[in-house]
């Protein structure tokens, strides 16, 4: 029973990891951009959530959609104003630009927010537990799991069953062809980056609900996001979900063996999967 509880809690943690990776998967899958500032945007969204919770007297979970909209606009503007100027066949210029952006964002957060760990006050919800068939689970992790899965389902539906969603998918697959049909691919890239960062915003705010964050938290989250994307398969949305679950379960199983291991066993699992299946789990048949 204890091992089953560890696995289920690993899936709960993995849903947040999957959300870290979803934004990176979207950016790479559609705009073919490796966003090195991805981790900093996760943390920035967390701090935006912390600020809004302090000034708007409603439940933090109701603040989440507001943060998502704000960061969507930020992502759209970033792509339109900066990244579209350097995006092209060579992936290096946008990678270098986002690397510089990550440094600027991190140092700006240190300057204006300080390095003190902060979190969103969830009241008793953070430590509230429940018993499910003899398994002890935290209420907040279950809520975060439900929100994460709902975001995956909603995004999948939008990309596959709406006109502009299909345009985004087509732009990611055949950029030159969609231009022949009058599609402004740079605008599509802006929407894709906005969506990617809005998913990161949800992850960042829920991270701040579940634990503390500092301006230096982004590096670890970026590493997790990249590992999730690579384990799941580059550009695969559902692969990111599977990758998050795999790393989350491995992380907690490793902590059960060695409480001081941190993310060591998750990184080892990443290395093993990358060695056996270089295309990731979703691309292993190829």
Confidence (pTM): 0.93
Q: How far apart are CA 165 and CA 195, in angstroms?
A: 11
Name the residue range of residue 39's domain: 2-283
Distance CA 151, CA 65 (A): 11
Q: What is the pLDDT of residues 148-168, one digit of tens each?
A: 999 999 999 999 999 999 999
Domain count, the chain: 1
Which range is least confidently modeled, 87-96, 204-213, 220-229, 244-253?
A: 87-96
Q: How confident is the model at residue 236 (pLDDT cuts 50, 70, 90)?
A: confident
pLDDT exceeds 60 at position 24: yes
3/5 Cα distance (integer angstroms): 5
Task: Report the CATH number at residue 9.
Answer: 1.10.3470
d(CA 233, CA 239): 6
What integer pLDDT is reported at residue 285 of this predicted model?
45
Percent of the chain with pLDDT over 70: 98
Query: 269-279, pLDDT tens digit by residue?
Result: 999 999 998 88
Please state the rounded mean pLDDT for residues 135-159.
94
CB proximity list for 135: less than 8 A, separation 6 or greater: 1, 4, 5, 8
Reference 249, options 263, 229, 232, 260; nearest CA is 263
């Amino acid at each position: 029973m204890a091992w089953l509880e560890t696995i289920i809690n690993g899936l709960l943690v993995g849903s947040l990891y999957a959300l870290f990776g979803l934004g990176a998967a979207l950016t790479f899958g559609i705009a073919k951009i490796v966003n090195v500032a991805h981790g900093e945007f996760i943390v920035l969204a967390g701090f935006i959530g912390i600020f809004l919770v302090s000034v708007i007297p409603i439940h933090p979970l109701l603040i989440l959609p507001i943060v998502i909209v704000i960061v969507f606009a930020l992502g759209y503007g970033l792509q339109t104003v900066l990244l579209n100027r350097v995006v092209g066949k060579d992936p290096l210029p946008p990678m270098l630009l986002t690397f510089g952006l990550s440094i600027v964002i991190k140092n700006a957060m240190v300057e204006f927010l300080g390095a003190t760990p902060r979190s969103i006050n969830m009241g008793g919800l953070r430590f509230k537990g429940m018993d499910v068939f003899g398994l002890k689970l935290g209420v907040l992790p279950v809520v975060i799991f439900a929100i994460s899965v709902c975001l995956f389902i909603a995004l999948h539906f939008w990309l596959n069953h709406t006109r502009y969603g299909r345009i985004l998918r087509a732009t990611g697959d055949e950029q030159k062809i969609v231009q022949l049909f009058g599609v402004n691919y740079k605008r599509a890239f802006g929407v894709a980056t906005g969506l990617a960062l809005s998913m990161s915003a949800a992850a960042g705010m829920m991270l701040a609900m579940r634990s503390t964050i500092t301006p230096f938290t982004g590096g670890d989250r970026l590493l997790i996001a990249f590992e999730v994307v690579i384990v799941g398969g580059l550009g695969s949305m559902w692969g990111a979900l599977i990758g998050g679950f795999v790393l989350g379960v491995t992380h907690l199983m490793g902590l059960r063996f060695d409480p001081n291991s941190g993310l060591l066993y998750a990184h080892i699992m990443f290395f093993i999967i990358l060695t056996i299946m270089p295309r990731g789990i979703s691309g292993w048949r190829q």
